[in-house]
C-alpha cells in the first residue's frame, strides 16, 4: 500500500463545501482507501467544517484542498489552504446558537488537528483514523501529570513537529 497525495483548488463560494466533500470522497475511493460508515461520516464532517470555515471567514477567490491517505498507517489528512492570515479560534456558542461548533467537532473527531501559518495565508488540517487504526489515546490530565512517552516510532507523538497543533 502506498501513500497518496493530491491537491485541488476550488472557488471560495458556498457551493465549494459540497463540491470539496465529494472530491475528497472520490479521491479516497479512487485510491481504494478502506473506509467504513463511521469514517466516511467523520471525513465528510471534517471536510465540511474545514471548507466551511475557509469559505465563511477567509479572503481571496479560491481555497486549496490537500488530501493525503496512508492506508498502511491507517491515517488520512485533510487540509485546507486559504489566503487569510487569521487563525481559527474555537467558538463558545450559546446552547441556542446555530454555528460556532466546527472546531470543537473537529477536535472530537480528529486524531490531531492544527494550523500551519504560511506567507500569505495558512493551512488548517485534521488527521483522521482510517479503519484498523488503534483507538484514540485518552486525553491527558490538565495538570500535566501524565508523563507517558509517545508510541514507539511516532516522532513528536505522531504529529508533524512544524505544525501548530491542537489536541
CA 29/CA 24 separation, integer angstroms: 9
User: What's the whole-number mean pLDDT along residues 132-147?
Assistant: 50
pLDDT band at 38 (very low <50, low <70, confident <90, very high): very high
How far apart, in Å, do the first and last CA atoms of the chain sit?
28
128 — pLDDT class (breaks 50, 70, 90): very high
Cell digits for 89?
A: 479560534
**Which of 9-18, 44-53, 114-123 has the least mean pLDDT?**
114-123
pLDDT at 71 over 70: yes
pLDDT at 69: 94
Residue 94 pLDDT > 90, yes or no? no
User: Is the pLDDT at 110 greater than 60, yes or no?
Assistant: yes
- 3-class DSSP assignment, residue 118: strand
Q: For residue 68, is pLDDT > 90? A: yes
CB 60 within 8 A of CB 83: yes
Amino acid at each position: 500500500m502506498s501513500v497518496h497525495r493530491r491537491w485541488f483548488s476550488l472557488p471560495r463560494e458556498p457551493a465549494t463545501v459540497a463540491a470539496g466533500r465529494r472530491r475528497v470522497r472520490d479521491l479516497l475511493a479512487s485510491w481504494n482507501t478502506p473506509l467504513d460508515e463511521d469514517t466516511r461520516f467523520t471525513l465528510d464532517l471534517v471536510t465540511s467544517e474545514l471548507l466551511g470555515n475557509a469559505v465563511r471567514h477567509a479572503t481571496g477567490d479560491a481555497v486549496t484542498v490537500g488530501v493525503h491517505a496512508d492506508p498502511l498507517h491507517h491515517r488520512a489528512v485533510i487540509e485546507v489552504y486559504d489566503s487569510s492570515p487569521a487563525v481559527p479560534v474555537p467558538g463558545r456558542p450559546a446552547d441556542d446558537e446555530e454555528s460556532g461548533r466546527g472546531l470543537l467537532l473537529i477536535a472530537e473527531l480528529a486524531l490531531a488537528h492544527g494550523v500551519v501559518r504560511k506567507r500569505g495565508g495558512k493551512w488548517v488540517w485534521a488527521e483522521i483514523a482510517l479503519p484498523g487504526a488503534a483507538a484514540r489515546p485518552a486525553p491527558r490530565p490538565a495538570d500535566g501529570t501524565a508523563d507517558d512517552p509517545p508510541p514507539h516510532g511516532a516522532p513528536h507523538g505522531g504529529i508533524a513537529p512544524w505544525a501548530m497543533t491542537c489536541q
